[in-house]
Amino acid sequence: MTIVALQTNELKHGLKTRHVTMISIGGVIGAGLFIGSGTIIDSAGPGAILSYIIAGLMIVLIMRMLGEMAVVNPDSGSFSTYAHQAFGPWAGYTIGWLYWFNWVIIIAIETTLLGTMIHDWFPGIPMWAASLSFPILMTITNIYSVKAYGEFEYWLAFMKVAAIVIFLFLGAAMISGLVPGFDSPGLSNITGEGGFLPKGFLPVLLSVIFITFSLSGSEVAAIAAGESENPEKNIIRAINSVVWRLLLFFVGSVTVLVLVIPQGAEDLLKTPYASVFDMAGLPAAGQIMNIVIFTSLLSVLNSGLYTSSRMLYSLSKKGDAPKILSRVNKRGIPIWALMASVFFAYVFTTFKFVSPDKLFAFLANSSGGVTMIMYIFIAFSHLYLRKKTEKENPGTLKVKMWLFPYLTYVTIAVLFIIFVAQAFIDSMRLQFFLTTLLTILVIGSYFLFYHKKNVIAAEQEGKLKNIHVKEG
């Protein structure tokens, strides 16, 4: 007797608790922290600490909302699915495709940065060849099983976290005067000449805008938890770990930078973390940080392929993308969605080499504001679904947003201010208008190609329900 296994097109729950927890922590620790923090400190002075506190709290609130919805309904489509439930198919379609596009662009950017680093280390390897090799490597880790992705990402994230922890301990020792050969400045960098806000409060607020955009990635944990052994437990643990570790790692490490590096030391702030290691007398500080940054880029690329493929899979399951993209292999991997993401990542990477200042710059600016739009969708979806859940099934609310609905309203207001503020910042103005245009085009494409089909499907589903009711 032959037993034939049926293809269910469902993802497998192969991620362990430690995978999801580390993914949630590592998701927000990227090259933006290791390099971008120096730019923020240079522009805001010691007040950058406040910038990171404000931006960090915003992400914590967003993650709390997302966690509340994810515990009620763990789904690989995450906020796209919740937007669909709250406001209809057009909302889920819009944020799902925008988010996918954003991640594919990020993959292309990380790929070229990795290629540049390899070329710098080994000049004999062409940058384009090195760049194109990394998506293949990450595809292998993603295509084997979700557990393989989780394990690989666990160790990449572990290396980043270990680097931050070592940096925090070293910084505390330097500030306390416990490092031989280094004269501790104490609190002089924030109490001496220039003070805590040497350039006023406006640069602090402007820095919040840049930081908020750079902190995307924590939401990957909510997507990954849907493929874990115990989604509800893992989401709660991931959300709780993000809350305090995000503030500790970001605010803590930036505080060390502010206290150790003298104000106005622009050269040291170009590579701030390497500068602190070097000031402590550690050999090969620059090379160590290059390895950490390389690991961070590799981690983002790995997560990018995972996240973009799951979003495509979810869109396909809801009928918002070709059906073939929701097919999974025997290991539970959405193989066609993964291959589609890899293909377009290669296309956009090619644009980076062929037309970096025009075509690729246009695409990058178009996706630049997607993070803020995603956060706005999450906040509005939470506002609607929380009220609905409280009426219909309050027992499922195992994680609750603090001070609902007031903090949700405050978060929405701040997110809108940050999004619109782009239009008044020279370096972000083009990004604001192109992302807004892209969003309008995506919404338009839904009503042009999918709205009628979804209405017909809903009508047919309604008729079937009526038939079953009559038969019953």
DSSP character string of 408-468: HHHHHHHHHHHHHHGGGSHHHHHHHHHHHHHHHHHHHHHHHHTHHHHHHHHHHHHHHHHHH
457 pLDDT higher than 70: no
214 pLDDT higher than 80: no
Per-residue pLDDT band at 458 (split at 50, 70, 90): low
DSSP structure class, residue 52: H
What percentage of the chain carries pLDDT values higher than 90?
Answer: 39
Per-residue pLDDT band at 125 (split at 50, 70, 90): very high
Q: What is the DSSP string of 99-148?
A: HHHHHHHHHHHHHHHHHHHHHHH-TTS-HHHHHHHHHHHHHHHHHH-HHH
Lowest mean per-residue pLDDT among 89-103, 360-374, 422-436: 360-374
- Quickly tell me which residue has 């392929």 as its tokens: 305
| Res 340: pLDDT | 95
| Res 466: pLDDT | 52
318 pLDDT higher than 60: yes
DSSP structure class, residue 369: T
Q: What is the DSSP string of 75-95?
A: -TTTHHHHHHHHH-HHHHHHH
Per-residue pLDDT band at 8 (split at 50, 70, 90): low
| Res 250: pLDDT | 86
Per-residue pLDDT band at 6 (split at 50, 70, 90): very low
Segment 175-203, tens digit of pLDDT = 999 999 888 888 888 887 778 888 888 89
| Average pLDDT for the chain | 86
Residues present in the chain in total: 472
What's the average model confidence in pLDDT over 40-69? 90
Stated pTM of the model: 0.90
Quote the radius of gyration of the chain (alpha carbons, Å): 23
| Res 10: pLDDT | 77
Please tell me the distance from the alpha carbon of residue 451 to that of residue 459, in angstroms, as a whole number. Answer: 12
Please tell me the distance from the alpha carbon of residue 178 to that of residue 288, in angstroms, as a whole number. Answer: 22
Lowest mean per-residue pLDDT among 147-161, 239-253, 401-415: 239-253
Q: What are phi and psi of 294, to 5 degrees?
A: -60, -45
